[in-house]
Structure 1
Amino acid sequence: MIALIQRVLHASVDVDGETVGAIGPGLLALACVQPGDTPARIAKMADRLAAYRVFADAAGRMNVGLKDHGGGLLLVSQFTLGADTASGLRPSFSTSAPPDEARVGFEALVAACRERLPVVETGRFGAHMQVSLVNDGPVTFWLET
């Protein structure tokens, strides 16, 4: 599983002109389910999203995770993160899970994050989405499990 996380002041996802998910300060996580992602890998990603230390402590150092800092998590499924871009001019998506497997894995990630965090919003799986955000820092990290 892959997640591209960004510390945000606010973020939202629109589908067909309707806001389907929005948060204030927190994390935006673009998530890609890969073939064979197990429940253990999904749980590990949920643990990392809740605890990855990207927020400042009293000394101004990145030492605080989302769970302790507070704020929301906006999860958006993005299969293109799994693209193989090593050669050529067109990405290959053979390293992203097929849609049915990806939907199950993404829904499991959402459920696991909701067990760990009080505010979890999502986009709409498989929809054409417009994601808006204000990156705070900027702070962006690539996580893999």
Structure 2
Amino acid sequence: MSEMTLNRLREMSAREKYSNEHYTKVNNLIEVLSESGILKTVDEDHVFYPQKLFREEEDIELFFISKKDIAICNIDDKGDVHVQVFPLKDINKVELLKLNAAKRTVELIVHINNEEPLILSNEEDTNTHWSYKFYDLILEIYSVLKG
């Protein structure tokens, strides 16, 4: 099982969009981001984190983390896409919790000025088959944020 890239998620959601409402929303989100040019503004050297991947009862959020900023993209039930971009200089604390190499668990909490903390968890953000990939991904994000 390889890592999940935006292109791989795009292909998967395009295949599944007619049989699954969750993937219809994911596909619409990616299409709007692509057609609007938003994806062109994302730093090419970024870490892609699809929060709530394979958790079909929850809405997916796409995180693009670079050495400059964090972009978070989601779509609501009306089909409206929301994009938030936070410069890394606005981060006032980064916490790495529940780090356990034997169990391959980790949680990252990013505190941004005047915002709710961003919580990334390899146990909560995907299914059990992908959680070990998300473990590595969260550690990579931590490295980017700590620069």
Q: Normalising to structure 2: TM-score of the pair?
A: 0.26
More strand by share: 1
More helix by share: 2
- Which structure would you say has the larger RCO, counting Cα contacts within 8 Å and 6 or more residues apart? 1
